[in-house]
Structure 1
Amino acid sequence: MIQNLLTTSEAANYLGVSKAFLERDRWAGARVPFIKIGSRAVRYRLSDLHDYINKQVRLSTSEIA
């Protein structure tokens, strides 16, 4: 199955965060799943971004992630 792969900039735009947020996230342990292609190319699957968004749903601001 072929899936849409987004660049870091495209994924950041889709999530409504900065490109730097995703770069820091990869460096710190990657809560947002990514794919590394070759030695430099980083891509994000649209399905992984949807899953990440769904996992961020909270019922209270005091709820611990």
Structure 2
Amino acid sequence: MTDNHSNQTSLPEDANRLLRETEAADFLGYSVRALQNWRLRGGGPLFVRVSSRSIRYRFCDLLEWTEARLVASTSDQLDPAPTTETTSEGQFEARRRRSFLRRSQKD
């Protein structure tokens, strides 16, 4: 019997495991604040909004985000990696958050 997935890169069984913000930041070597800024502005790894106050990152999305940034030299251009802002829903959410922040700063 032939394995249909033998040609694909295999990920660990726990690739879909959800990581807390601090775990994701540690894995990437960035601060939690950097992840928060990327969520607000875009450009960071995809994330899971469990609730309005609970954010998680799938391990496989962190790996994909880092793989998309591999370069051989400083002259290599980065390909735009998928982010929440590349989807229409992500763009709507980003605009909504920016609008809310502008309104809250005026008060």
TM-score band, normalised by the shorter chain?
A: 0.7 to 0.9
Structure with max Cα Rg: 2
Given that 2:21 and 2:55 are in contact with CA atoms closer than 8 Å, whether structure 1 keeps it comes out as yes
Segments of 5+ residues of structure 1 without an aligned counterpart are none
Percentage of identical aligned residues: 34
Segments of 5+ residues of structure 2 without an aligned counterpart are 1-13, 79-107
Give the C-alpha shift of residue 25 in structure 1.
0.4
Q: Does structure 1 residue 32 correspond to structure 2 residue 45?
A: yes
Q: Over the residues paired in the alignment, what is the CA RMSD in angstroms?
A: 1.4
Q: Which runs of 4+ in 1 moved over 6 A?
A: none
TM-score w.r.t. the length of structure 1 is 0.87
TM-score w.r.t. the length of structure 2 is 0.55
The 2-side partners of 1:40 and 1:63 are apart by: 37
Q: Which protein has the bigger strand share?
A: 1
